[in-house]
Amino acid sequence: MNDLAGKHIVLGLSGGIACYKSAELCRGLSKAGATVQVVMTEAARQFITPVTLQALSNRPVYGSRDVSGFDAREPNGMPHINLSREADAILIAPCSADFMVKLAQGAADDLLSLMCLARPIQSVPLLLAPAMNREMWAHPATQRNMAQLAADGAILLGVGNGFQACGETGDGRMLEPAELLEDLIAFFQPKSLAGQRVLVTAGPTFEAMDPIRGITNHSSGKMGFAIARAAREAGAEVTLVAGPVSLPTPRGVCRVDVRSARDMLEAVVASADSATVFVATAAVADWRPATPSDQKIKKDGSGQPPVLHFTENPDILHTVAQGERARSGRLFCVGFAAESHDLVNHAQAKRERKGVPLLVGNIGPLAFGQDDNEMLLVDAQGVHPLPRAPKLQLARQLIAEIARRTRATA
């Protein structure tokens, strides 16, 4: 997906070992559809060459020792003006502790700091990806500088935790390129759910027969995880209750891992009281073994399978939709129906049975495990198809629809 198509990003590199990650970040920005203009400090050039960044961005790399920032390659000799005016955003990655001092104090002794100072604050956002040793990160001076930068309108993207090049472990690592790319994409998405608290369920449930075996389904969780990401991109505070899947947690999303349908119900009920939107994407098992065995069920040589008795699992969506918050209009509920055939009739019947204003239907075998999907929005007025597309694209369309409907009922 060309999530950054039409965007022009100035990627600034200050000095730090994390510069090696900036090459992958530059490539990721380009693959997402952005044009990338790299500007490097002299310290950054000690860690990675301009040739590498030029090859990846397909543009000349800027970086001057001249305090004035003037460059003969520019018709007016003023790259600090021209580069900042062309940008949709300036991203400094890595942003060293030293460079944060420059930004906080308004120093301008190289092209990158001069360009940041000269940028139009109201139209060109400045995003910072700090990178430094854990002690430098925790130092009061660094924390003061970050507070000042935030007060001045810069956007701090946070840091990672882990092993550092110095041999120590802790906070201060630059976020990974994929994380920074996800943050930048989210930054440009409309904030249609700002102030909302969204609760999403995703993936299958696993209902144990014995300590070894169980009953589940083919749901990969990709659609629910995409919806959680899209809701966070739209400015919501998101809680994701996930069945047993191995997907990475979307940036900025609070994840609660569960296993069975009853586990999922407990987690959902605990979060539903503070939610304003509930999207029940999970493919919850309708049935579970009534009495799971404490030990592995063994073959007895008779050739006859064991007799299993089943009991119905709790209906999570119906439970939440019939709760006081949903009935009072303070919680907007969206259901999902994964069917194998006759989608329209089954989806319409399920929406009425569950008592929700909006239900999303899809054909399960064509959706489970796939990176794309096609969906049917079902409400009291009829059905509205969403053609096959990447799941994240469909998730953003669904979130926009939820935002429109919640605004209309507010």
Catalytic residues: 166
User: What type of residue sits at position 15?
Assistant: G
Taking each helix axis from N to C end, the angle separating 222-233 and 391-409, rounded to the nearest 10 degrees, works out to 50
Angle at 34 between CA 32 and CA 40, to 5 degrees: 115
**SS3 assignment, position 375:** strand
Q: How far apart are CA 60 and CA 73, in angstroms?
A: 10
Residues in the chain, overall count: 410
Mention every residue, 6+ apart, whose C-beta is less than 8 A from residue 257.
242, 244
Adjacent-strand bridge partners of 289: 310
**SS3 assignment, position 307:** coil
Give the residue among 327, 325, 351, 224 at the shortest CA–CA distance from 279.
224
Contacts 24+ apart (CB under 8 A), 309-315: 311/287, 312/286, 312/287, 313/205, 313/207, 313/261, 313/262, 313/284, 313/285, 313/286, 313/287, 313/288, 314/261, 314/262, 314/265, 315/354
